[in-house]
Copies of this chain bind each other. A is one copy, B any other.
Amino acid sequence: MAALNAADRGRRSIACRSLLGVAALAVFAGAESLAQEHPRLLLVAEEIRELKDQWPRSTLFSAAVERTRSRIDALVASPPDVPAPKDPGGGYTHERHKANGIVIAEAGALYQWTGESAYADLVRQLLLAYAGMYPELGLHPERKEQSPGRLFWQSLNESVFLTYAIQGYDAIHATLDTQDRERIEARLFGPMADFLSVESPQVFDRIHNHGTWATAAVGMTGYALDDDDLVEMALMGTARDGKAGFLAQLRQLFSPDGYYLEGPYYQRYALMPFVLFAKAIEHNEPERQIFEYRSGIVAKAIRTTVQLSYAGLFFPINDAIRDKGLDTVELDYAVAIAYGVTGDPAFLSLVDDASNIVLTTDGLRLALAREAGRATPFPFASRHFRDGPAGDQGALTILRAGGAPGAALVFKATSHGMGHGHFDRLHWMFYDNGAEIVADYGAARFLNVPQKAGGRYLPENKTWAKQTVAHNTLVVDAASQFDGDYKRADQSWPTGHYYHVGDGVQIVSADERAAYPGTLLRRTMLLLEWPELDHPLVIDVLKARSKDARRFDLPLYFSGALIETQPAIDMGMSLQPLGDANGYQHLWGLGEAQSVGGDRLAFTWLTNGRFYTYNVIANADIGVAYTRVGATDPDFNLRSEPGFIFGADSVRNLDVVAVLEPHGEYNGAREYTIRSESQVVRLQRLDDDGKDLVIVETKAGATLAVVLSYDPNPNTAHTIRTAVGEYRWRGYHRVFGHGYEPDEERQR
């Protein structure tokens, strides 16, 4: 069967190549390709010749070469370890083949930069070993049903392997004799590219990151093997009609703002094949102007990925492993290529050390520029990233103050993001002072740890991490949004977005109408740099409007040590789970408190040397549960994280206003504590015919008033009358108080 495939492929590609060759010549006659000889993918022969004697001048690049050398040299002496495929993710053969793919690429790069033939020999031996085995392989014994691989349990890993291995082959192509080349192409790269494309169209033609890995792998193989047909299929899909393939993926997987629908964790992963293949396209067919495609979407997506991080780690929304961030191989490649494309010195500041330097010409140019002192800080800033191919499917909003290590409020009102999406519309997170303050649990998964369900997503990912109650957003009737059905969730997104940043006021608002049929949710969040307080203040105005009486639960997951609560929480002498379904079964109820008649509740915790007080009022009696994640967890898969749930029962219309105030400092090493008590002493909401007035008053007597009309027309005038006067403004919102609109404005 393998032989048949190879023969079949041969026929197909010769036929198509001649046709396409003519077309390409006709259309792009003036374009010039760097890539007539090998290497021609990420490394290009002509550039290497030009830069080969420059790299020893770069300390960073030299260190990166040495790091790679020390890894690879350990393998040069021993015979290649190419075991028969047996294990699933995390197991020996899986990890070995993953590592071999990278070794092939790295040894190839070392050969190019050092000219030492031992590296070329290593690549040759590995490739011949794979060529010896691959045609005889059936599907992997541990194959995943929808997308099986041959070397690996899923074809995704096979695409990644090919993406690396083809670079190694490309790098040593010139050192191989014809017999070796033919053997490697006919028995390894040809069959593998076919397997990943025409034999796996359900993956290859999918508008999904797995599809992009497949198209990138196959397209790069096409360039390396002079197989224009593979390239064309990679770009246009197996039907070659452009409805699938790399260009369709570029159009549909990213929003116009460069946001990827699955969120930052998968955005990082999805980015890798985009940037690698784009670079290979640029080298081989510059006339395609791939980096100009869709207004430069590749570089935009890279910038957006960086913006979606705090203190080096990605915001862990949706299924996300929390230790992923800028220090990942995907970003190493992306940043080098983005710098190459844009020349923007802000990318240079994202390089920590030699471990972030990739062994490409872009990597070398990046290292040289950084060493020449050209780095400027990456401009982390408030951003409203629209979601969806046309930018009309919700948005992820980041409000920042005080630069990269300062305050960052993340407001999630995006589309669902398919199977890895969480049921968390209108969820928020908050970062401050370099730390996570209001948290997202991320995914329940120990990536690649065999003992933990083979490194796959754990059962608790579905029963806990995806559920609405695991997020800082409103739960209605103790059920998850869309009853936890992601196919329903994928059909809609939050609407009514409002976003404004300026004059010390940052505000974002969105509505959600579909998650709980019959209930409208509207959440408005502000980040205010109010001169009366040390640090930017978060204000949260959350409204639910329902036809029938509902139970509402609003969780708040925080990181830190609880310092003070008002009212006091009665601790339980034994702990029970808070419920038996929809995630509640995973919460231990540590204690309870009640607030009657709209009294302000206040909770202070300490994180990373700063105090945070969460003040909350509501238009209903509120029960507070102090919780800890970890109940009903027979394999102890969950992290023990603290949280509060604010609950109201039998309510049709709920209005909650909360203020999160960062304050003071705790310094254990230097032995001092300042302002450990909240400055906020009063919090009030007035409702005037659908408009809201929120008043915050400090211990020192300063008053801040926020008015909201929820009317985006900037010219419409609004008024709210209170016992002491009137607030008048135009448009969606206004803020009154010291540093904002003067008081006189209010009283006129």
Inter-chain contact A628/B606, CB cutoff 8 Å: no
| Contact of A323 (CB < 8 Å), options: B324, B448, B628, B669 | B669
Looking at the assembled complex, report how far the CB atom of A369 sits from the nearest CB atom of chain B, in whole angstroms.
24
Stretch from A388-396, A525-533, A632-640, A703-711 at the B interface: A632-640
Please, which residue of chain B has its CB at the minimum distance from the CB of A447? B668
Interface flags, A139-182, vs B, CB<8A=1, else 0:
00000000000000000000000000000000000000000000
Inter-chain contact A446/B563, CB cutoff 8 Å: yes
CB within 8 Å for A677 and B450 given contacts A571-B633, A573-B632: yes
Inter-chain contact B671/A447, CB cutoff 8 Å: yes
| Contact of A563 (CB < 8 Å), options: B451, B564, B633, B672 | B451
Instruction: For A576, list chain B residues within 8 Å (CB).
Output: 574
Please, which residue of chain B has its CB at the minimum distance from the CB of A588? B575
Inter-chain contact B636/A90, CB cutoff 8 Å: no
A569 at the interface (CB under 8 A from B): yes
A286 at the interface (CB under 8 A from B): no
Instruction: For A669, list chain B residues within 8 Å (CB).
Output: 323-325, 327-328
A137 at the interface (CB under 8 A from B): no
CB contact list, A656-673 vs B, under 8 A: 666, 668-673
CB within 8 Å for A676 and B575 given contacts A640-B640, A668-B324: no
Interface flags, A319-339, vs B, CB<8A=1, else 0:
001111101110000000000
Looking at the assembled complex, report how far the CB atom of A573 sits from the nearest CB atom of chain B, in whole angstroms.
7
A425 at the interface (CB under 8 A from B): no
A674 at the interface (CB under 8 A from B): yes
Inter-chain contact A672/B95, CB cutoff 8 Å: yes
Bound-complex Cα distance A661 to B639 (A): 23
Inter-chain contact B448/A672, CB cutoff 8 Å: yes
Looking at the assembled complex, report how far the CB atom of A394 sits from the nearest CB atom of chain B, in whole angstroms.
28
Bound-complex Cα distance A47 to B157 (A): 68
Instruction: For A325, list chain B residues within 8 Å (CB).
Output: 669
CB contact list, A672-730 vs B, under 8 A: 672-674, 676-677
A contact residues vs B (CB 8 Å cutoff): 90, 95, 98-99, 321-325, 327-329, 446-452, 455, 561-565, 569, 571, 573-577, 588, 590-591, 604, 606, 626, 628, 630-634, 636, 639-640, 642, 666, 668-674, 676-677
Inter-chain contact B632/A677, CB cutoff 8 Å: no
A-B contact pairs, 26 of them (CB 8 A): A90-B676, A95-B673, A98-B672, A324-B668, A325-B669, A329-B670, A446-B561, A446-B606, A446-B666, A447-B666, A447-B671, A449-B606, A449-B676, A450-B673, A451-B563, A451-B604, A561-B639, A569-B636, A571-B634, A571-B636, A573-B631, A574-B574, A574-B576, A590-B636, A626-B636, A640-B642
Inter-chain contact B329/A564, CB cutoff 8 Å: no
| Contact of A574 (CB < 8 Å), options: B95, B562, B575 | B575
Instruction: For A642, list chain B residues within 8 Å (CB).
Output: 640
CB within 8 Å for A323 and B668 given contacts A577-B573, A626-B636: yes
Please, which residue of chain B has its CB at the minimum distance from the CB of A355? B670
Inter-chain contact B639/A674, CB cutoff 8 Å: no
Looking at the assembled complex, report how far the CB atom of A572 sits from the nearest CB atom of chain B, in whole angstroms.
9
Inter-chain contact B633/A673, CB cutoff 8 Å: no
Instruction: For A450, list chain B residues within 8 Å (CB).
Output: 673, 676-677
**Closest 10 CB pairs between A and B?**
A323-B668, A575-B575, A448-B673, A451-B564, A562-B636, A574-B576, A571-B634, A328-B669, A451-B563, A321-B668
Q: How many monomers of this protein are in the complex?
A: 2
Bound-complex Cα distance A436 to B173 (A): 49
Bound-complex Cα distance A571 to B631 (A): 9
Instruction: For A666, list chain B residues within 8 Å (CB).
Output: 446-449
Inter-chain contact B328/A670, CB cutoff 8 Å: yes
Please, which residue of chain B has its CB at the minimum distance from the CB of A451? B564
Instruction: For A640, list chain B residues within 8 Å (CB).
Output: 628, 640, 642
Bound-complex Cα distance A224 to B447 (A): 64
Bound-complex Cα distance A573 to B632 (A): 7
Does more than half of chain A's interface fall in helix, strand or loop, or is it mixed? Answer: loop
Please, which residue of chain B has its CB at the minimum distance from the CB of A633? B571
Looking at the assembled complex, report how far the CB atom of A309 sits from the nearest CB atom of chain B, in whole angstroms.
12
Looking at the assembled complex, report how far the CB atom of A334 sits from the nearest CB atom of chain B, in whole angstroms.
14
> Besides A448-B666, A448-B671, 7 other CB < 8 A contacts?
A90-B676, A327-B669, A328-B669, A328-B670, A449-B563, A449-B666, A575-B588
| Contact of A451 (CB < 8 Å), options: B575, B591, B677 | B677
Bound-complex Cα distance A324 to B573 (A): 33
Bound-complex Cα distance A606 to B449 (A): 10
Instruction: For A639, list chain B residues within 8 Å (CB).
Output: 561
Looking at the assembled complex, report how far the CB atom of A667 sits from the nearest CB atom of chain B, in whole angstroms.
8
Looking at the assembled complex, report how far the CB atom of A268 sits from the nearest CB atom of chain B, in whole angstroms.
10
Bound-complex Cα distance A626 to B327 (A): 35
Bound-complex Cα distance A591 to B631 (A): 11
Looking at the assembled complex, report how far the CB atom of A392 sits from the nearest CB atom of chain B, in whole angstroms.
34
Looking at the assembled complex, report how far the CB atom of A691 sits from the nearest CB atom of chain B, in whole angstroms.
37
Bound-complex Cα distance A561 to B637 (A): 8
Instruction: For A323, list chain B residues within 8 Å (CB).
Output: 668-669
Looking at the assembled complex, report how far the CB atom of A637 sits from the nearest CB atom of chain B, in whole angstroms.
9
Please, which residue of chain B has its CB at the minimum distance from the CB of A450? B676
Bound-complex Cα distance A496 to B639 (A): 42
Bound-complex Cα distance A669 to B668 (A): 31
Bound-complex Cα distance A666 to B450 (A): 11
Instruction: For A606, list chain B residues within 8 Å (CB).
Output: 446, 449
Instruction: For A562, list chain B residues within 8 Å (CB).
Output: 636
Question: Which of A446, A449, A569, A642 lies at the interface centre, i.e. has the most chain B CB atoms within 10 A of its CB?
Answer: A449
Instruction: For A588, list chain B residues within 8 Å (CB).
Output: 575
Looking at the assembled complex, report how far the CB atom of A44 sits from the nearest CB atom of chain B, in whole angstroms.
26
Bound-complex Cα distance A284 to B634 (A): 68
Looking at the assembled complex, report how far the CB atom of A564 sits from the nearest CB atom of chain B, in whole angstroms.
4
Please, which residue of chain B has its CB at the minimum distance from the CB of A327? B669
Bound-complex Cα distance A451 to B324 (A): 36
Please, which residue of chain B has its CB at the minimum distance from the CB of A634? B571
Instruction: For A674, list chain B residues within 8 Å (CB).
Output: 95
Bound-complex Cα distance A53 to B324 (A): 50
Looking at the assembled complex, report how far the CB atom of A644 sits from the nearest CB atom of chain B, in whole angstroms.
12
Instruction: For A591, list chain B residues within 8 Å (CB).
Output: 636
Question: Which of A95, A571, A604 lies at the interface centre, i.e. has the most chain B CB atoms within 10 A of its CB?
Answer: A571
Looking at the assembled complex, report how far the CB atom of A643 sits from the nearest CB atom of chain B, in whole angstroms.
12
Bound-complex Cα distance A90 to B673 (A): 6
Instruction: For A569, list chain B residues within 8 Å (CB).
Output: 636
Looking at the assembled complex, report how far the CB atom of A346 sits from the nearest CB atom of chain B, in whole angstroms.
21
Bound-complex Cα distance A90 to B575 (A): 34
Please, which residue of chain B has its CB at the minimum distance from the CB of A670? B329
Instruction: For A670, list chain B residues within 8 Å (CB).
Output: 328-329
Question: Which of A588, A604, A642 lies at the interface centre, i.e. has the most chain B CB atoms within 10 A of its CB?
Answer: A588
Instruction: For A565, list chain B residues within 8 Å (CB).
Output: 636
Instruction: For A633, list chain B residues within 8 Å (CB).
Output: 571
| Contact of A455 (CB < 8 Å), options: B321, B329, B447, B673 | B673
Looking at the assembled complex, report how far the CB atom of A470 sits from the nearest CB atom of chain B, in whole angstroms.
18
